[in-house]
Amino acid sequence: MVSTASCVVQAFGRGRAAFTGVLERRTAVDNEKIKPAEAAKMIFPFDVAGIRAEMERLLGRPKCATFVKRVIELVSKNASPANRLVENGDVLKVFDRVMSQRGLVRAGDAAHGALPGANFADGSIEGKDARIQVGNIRPGADVTLEELAAMYVKSDARFCIHETLHHCGRLVYSDQEYAIAASAMNGNNPPLPIPPPDIDSRFLYSQYWDAELRKTFK
């Protein structure tokens, strides 16, 4: 989802979230089980190399590669002339551009400029302040630190693909633009949502096209 807010605070360590006190203590006992509620409160650091490798693996799947290429083509073709395509739509190269600007920040990490909410594409490539905010995980059962780290890599990569697609436009492509493109690709089945006037349309549009994207990860 695209954020409408902007923030000048740099993400810690160019995309690596700061350790919470709880997580610092846990590093010495990796096999100790962590409760779901405790895990959800952690400001978990980003394994940027692991996230990028998982993104590359997913984007290498023929179904995913085809969907991503086509949806970017449709959105960029109908975008305003000023909102030019970045890196010819190469998602990994665009992700690298984001990392060279403000990088990644974990939701809840207010000390490093996290915005209210979970997952956002913030700033823009054009503004040289592109950033991706990624939410937290609440596991369904007790986990070790190692298990939680593996869960984060898998989850973060999927959210980073979604948010990086927003940054494929120099001024950011919107959720509505992607939802309309996805609807054209799937024959409007399921139908494109019509947001009620009292609902933030970004959430519905984001959910719509993200569901289509995630089908290609399987």
Give the residue extent of every domain in the chain. Answer: 21-215
Query: pTM of the predicted model, to two decimals?
Result: 0.87
- Per DSSP, 167 falls in state T
Q: Which residues pair with 34 in a beta bridge?
A: 143
Task: Please report which confidence band the pLDDT of residue 23 belongs to, taking 50, 70 and 90 as the band edges.
Answer: low
Start-to-end CA span in the chain (Å):
21
6-11 mean pLDDT: 29
Task: Please report which confidence band the pLDDT of residue 200 belongs to, taking 50, 70 and 90 as the band edges.
Answer: confident
Give the H/E segment covering residue 133: strand 131-134
CA distance 40 to 135: 10
| CA 110 to each of CA 7, 20, 62, 191: distance values in angstroms, whole numbers, following the listed order | 11, 12, 38, 37
**Is the per-residue pLDDT at 27 higher than 80?**
no
pLDDT in tens, 67-121: 999 999 999 999 999 999 999 999 999 999 999 999 999 999 999 999 888 999 9
- The bridge status of strand 131-134 relative to strand 120-122 is antiparallel
In this structure, are residues 168 and 68 in contact, taking their beta carbons and an 8 Å threshold?
Answer: no
**Is the per-residue pLDDT at 136 higher than 90?**
yes
